[in-house]
Amino acid sequence: MREWLKIVLDTFKVFILFTGCTIMFYYGIMWLNQEYQSYHKYDEPEGSAIKVTTTIDTENDNWLNRLLFFYHYGE
């Protein structure tokens, strides 16, 4: 009888530990979600940011030149 009670008590401890860790993990994920939900990654940059893209003259570029440019520069 004493051995059976010890097994039940140990099982209950493991259940409580598992439930506690699951709840902590859930609220940790919810906290991360709230942190990144308010993060606006597509806002206009502030300060001395510069635009780094350029327009490409497509009249003189054919598909072969664009392909060779892609292979050469990896863009």
Residue by residue, pLDDT tens for the chain (75 residues) are 889 999 999 999 999 999 999 999 999 999 999 888 877 777 777 788 777 776 666 666 688 888 888 888 875
Cα distance between residue 30 and residue 22, in whole Å: 12
Domain ranges, ordered by start, for the chain: 1-37
Q: Which pLDDT score, from 0 to 100, does residue 3 have?
A: 93
